[in-house]
Amino acid sequence: MITPHLVKQFQRDGAVVVRQAFSPHWLQVMADGVERNLRSPSEYASENAVTEQDGGRFFDDYVNWSRIPEYEDLVRNSPAAKIAANVMQSQRAQLFHDHVLVKEPSTPKPTPWHADNPYYFIGGVQNVSMWMPLEPVQDNTLRFIAGSHKWKHDVRPVSWADDSDFYEDDAPWIDVPDPDGKDRDTMTVLEWAMEPGDCVLFHFRTVHGARGNQTEERRRALSVRWLGDDCRYLERPGRTSPPFPGHGMREGERLREDWFPVLYREE
C-alpha cells in the first residue's frame, strides 16, 4: 500500500493521500467510536468559537483511545500502525494520540492554518498524522502547504479560540501564512477530494488547514498521530497540547510505552 513513490512524495511535500486504506469494517468501527465520543466527551473536548451569528458546530476532542473501545480496536488491530511505520521509514510505530474533529452542516468556521509540531513535546523527524474522513469531502477536505515541513522554523502556535500566542516566549517562529492571500504566489496548496476509506498522511511540521463545512452533511474525521524510531521527549516553554500532565518524562527520552504503546515493530 505504501509504495516507494508515496514515500518520496511524503518526504518531498510533507503530505500524501492513500486511497482506500481502510475497509468498510474499519470505517464502521471509526464511526461507532466517533458517536460514542460525541455522547461522552473528555475533559479536553472543545467547541471551537462558532458564533451564534455564524451557526453550526465545530467539535474536537483528543486522547480518548484508552476509554473509547472502538478507537483502541482501530489503533491496535487495523492496518494503521503498519501504514504509519512504512511511510515514516521506521522500524516501529508508537501511538502518540487520537484526535476527532466534527463539523456539523453549515458550519462556516475554518480550521486555521497551523502546524501540529509546535504544540507537541516531540523531537525528531520520523512522525506522521493520519487523517481519515467518514464522509466524502471535497471543498471541506484538509489542505496542506507543500514542503512546509522543511521550513527552517516552525509556524507560530496560536490559540484557536482567539489567535493569541500559545506560548509566552521569543522563539524564532514564522508568522502564520496566508496561502490563499498574500502568500499565494510563493506557496503551493495541496488538497484532495476524498471518499471514506481514503486517508491523508502528513508530517507534524506540515502546515495545514481546512475550510468551513458549507455542505448539508456533517464532516466527521478521525486523526491518529504516530511516532517513529527517532522521536524523543522535548521540553516546551509551557503547557503543550495535548498536555499529558504528570508524564514524568525527561528531555531526550523515548516516550513511556505504558502511555504511548508501540503498536508495530518490523519483524
Question: Is residue 254 assigned to a domain?
Answer: no
Tally of domains within the chain: 1
Structural domain harbouring 107: 4-230
Contact 236, 169 (CB under 8 A): no
Domain assignment present for residue 35? The answer is yes
Q: How confident is the model at residue 171 (pLDDT cuts 50, 70, 90)?
A: confident
pTM of the model: 0.95
Residue 59 lies in a domain: yes
Q: Please indicate, yes or no, if residue 253 is contained in any of the structural domains.
A: no
Q: What's the confidence (pLDDT) of residue 53? A: 67
Q: What is the CA radius of gyration of the chain?
A: 17
Whether residue 265 lies inside any domain: the answer is no
pLDDT at 51 over 80: no
Return mean pLDDT, the chain.
94
260 in a structural domain: no
Contacts of 216 (CB under 8 A, 6+ apart): 105, 106
Instruction: Say if 134 falls within a structural domain.
Output: yes
For residue 49, pLDDT beyond 60: no
Question: Among the ranges 54-63, 72-81, 168-177, which has the highest mean pLDDT value?
Answer: 72-81
Question: Which set of grid coordinates corresponds to residue 51?
Answer: 458564533
Nearest by Cα to 130 from 21, 49, 213: 21
Q: Find the CATH number of the domain harbouring 119.
A: 2.60.120.620
| 31 within some domain | yes
Q: Which residue, 198, 141, 238, is CA-closest to 22?
A: 198
